[in-house]
Chains A and B, each alone.
Chain A
């Protein structure tokens, strides 16, 4: 019997006001969606625990305020992050054009090693779409980031997105050896309920 490995990754969620950062976290944590979450003022913290074989992976999720004037606080919040999830709203063009500068801030603060994920959220509102998936894809390639479209409302792709992040982190952590071949998305089981580590 081997000792259980616990890996912790600080993951910061960034993006313009009301693009769905808190909703994505709520979908991941509690598998639910409300029309109105309390606005995030400054920062909120959540922990998501996932299990992969004998490894426990804890994502420390830092949920941030989207308003421009909070940008001065963001460097402190980003510091020491392993993952940055930059979210935009597919029905809001300007939230997409800001992605570039969010990613730049992240790389400035954390260097090139940080894993960047670009998320186009609110695909449930496809009829009001202002940003095409190809554009998101193209930008992500340019910025060396992972890209995905999600809906926190329907849950579409949310779990898959976080699973992909965790798998990538795990594979980076464990150099390619026998385990990597039978790593499969099905191995990932997510914990249910409380974010409290106590």
Chain B
């Protein structure tokens, strides 16, 4: 039973009154064509998380239209009664939807923890729709990561007083991390030294792991946001997640339950166990979602470890332009890092699939698979990478990754 909404065609052609209701009708109208089943559902019936995400994304489009109208009345045009929204029209929700993107995040930062948890889906929709405003990004990142500053900051200061067996290894790498970026290009400059201190502290904090190449690239973008280094440490340990006990933290009476979630840590452990798993999940999904490409890779002997290792071990920061990297961090922190990394990896392969398939030469395939070449095909429209990645939510989500983990364990353990 289709719900009846006023159609945009019933709107007068001229003297169009731009109200929220008009535009919302137009979008709902479009949505009902796209996903009739969703709109036919009884309103009493509970809807799945995916569906509610979908609704959220529509609502966010609606709000963006509203915002665009406030700033630029010409961004939405009416032709013969149908509404055309410029492609950049996207964004926020709920009661806050009358405010700007900036106001949403101000409100988010000011809310109490319990309240923020309640609108997690809304936050995800918001982050997906547009970049976190640069003025607030550093605070929002710290908040999204659920970093425990009260505990982690004093710990950081204590760890800096100690020495780490990994110092030499770390020093060898910090000179080679973002060598062209202003913050990191000076040998032993402030940026490099902050990077060194954070990684040194981490190597003591998680002495079983110590230091792994790739980690400096993961920390760098956090420093680039001018997040104070002790907070970067707090954020980073939160992203890395649960760690095994060790004598130093035991002596400092560290509360291990502070970071109890499974994070990105296993990517970097001595056996690179998490990397092996994520490469397995990645290649399974390539085979399932991009079967032609998987076949092409097999034909030319392209193993995922030969192109995707640096994607995953640097959170794409060593291979992509930094603005995309910041967007990837927005999403990783809101939705989960590993999930996001895999979605991005599939999105960029999918986008470049035809190009890769047309390459009948191993060296050409590797050339295309280099980060700077992969993004070339987006012609600067980098937000599309995010749209494509989050558009894979049905195919790639926590449930799917969990199933692949179980399958991996049954095969290899």
Interface residues of A in 172-198 (CB under 8 A from B): 195-198
Whether the pair B187, A76 counts as a contact (CB closer than 8 A) is: no
Q: In the complex, what distance in Å separates the CA atom of A48 from the CA atom of B303?
A: 22
Interface residues of A in 10-63 (CB under 8 A from B): 17-18, 34-39, 41-45, 47, 58, 60
Interface residues of B in 296-350 (CB under 8 A from A): 301, 303, 305-306, 309-310, 313-314, 318
How many A-B residue contacts, CB cutoff 8 Å?
Answer: 87
Knowing A67-B212, A69-B212, A198-B364 are in contact, say whether A41-B179 is a contact too (CB < 8 A): no
Query: Is A70's CB within 8 Å of the partner chain B?
Result: yes
Contact of B314 among A41, A60, A80 (CB under 8 A): A41
Cβ distance B325 to chain A, nearest Cβ, rounded Å: 14
Number of B interface residues in the complex (CB < 8 A): 35
Of A39, A72, A197, most buried by chain B (CB within 10 Å of CB) is: A39
Whether the pair A41, B367 counts as a contact (CB closer than 8 A) is: no
Whether the pair A41, B272 counts as a contact (CB closer than 8 A) is: no
Contact of B213 among A45, A47, A67, A195 (CB under 8 A): A67
Query: Is B126's CB within 8 Å of the partner chain A?
Result: no
Knowing A69-B212, A195-B367 are in contact, say whether A41-B169 is a contact too (CB < 8 A): no
- Closest-by-CB residue of B relative to A60 is B363
Query: Is A125's CB within 8 Å of the partner chain B?
Result: no
B136: A residues at CB distance < 8 A: none
A45: B residues at CB distance < 8 A: 306, 363, 366-367, 370
Whether the pair B179, A42 counts as a contact (CB closer than 8 A) is: no
Q: In the complex, what distance in Å separates the CA atom of A25 from the CA atom of B269?
A: 29
Whether the pair B363, A73 counts as a contact (CB closer than 8 A) is: no
Q: In the complex, what distance in Å separates the CA atom of A151 from the CA atom of B83?
A: 66
Contact of A34 among B179, B362, B363 (CB under 8 A): B179
Whether the pair A38, B313 counts as a contact (CB closer than 8 A) is: no
Q: In the complex, what distance in Å separates the CA atom of A47 from the CA atom of B313?
A: 24
The segment out of B52-60, B106-114, B170-178, B228-236 that lies at the interface is: B170-178
Contact of A41 among B276, B313, B362 (CB under 8 A): B313
Main secondary structure of the interface of A (DSSP, over half): loop
Contact of B305 among A67, A69, A76, A198 (CB under 8 A): A76
Query: Is A106's CB within 8 Å of the partner chain B?
Result: no
Whether the pair B306, A38 counts as a contact (CB closer than 8 A) is: no
B247: A residues at CB distance < 8 A: none
Whether the pair B176, A42 counts as a contact (CB closer than 8 A) is: no
Knowing A18-B172, A39-B213, A42-B305 are in contact, say whether A198-B177 is a contact too (CB < 8 A): no
Knowing A73-B305, A76-B305 are in contact, say whether A67-B367 is a contact too (CB < 8 A): no
The 4 closest A-B pairs by CB, nearest first: A42-B309, A39-B176, A45-B366, A41-B310
Q: Which residues of A contact B (CB under 8 A)?
A: 17-18, 34-39, 41-45, 47, 58, 60, 65, 67, 69-70, 72-73, 76-77, 80, 195-198
List 17 interface pairs A-B (beta carbons < 8 Å), by A numbering. A36-B176, A39-B173, A39-B216, A41-B214, A41-B313, A42-B305, A42-B309, A43-B305, A60-B363, A69-B272, A70-B213, A72-B276, A73-B272, A73-B309, A76-B306, A195-B367, A197-B363
A-B contact sample (10 more), CB < 8 A, given A36-B176, A41-B318: A39-B318, A41-B214, A41-B314, A42-B305, A45-B363, A69-B271, A69-B272, A70-B213, A72-B276, A198-B367
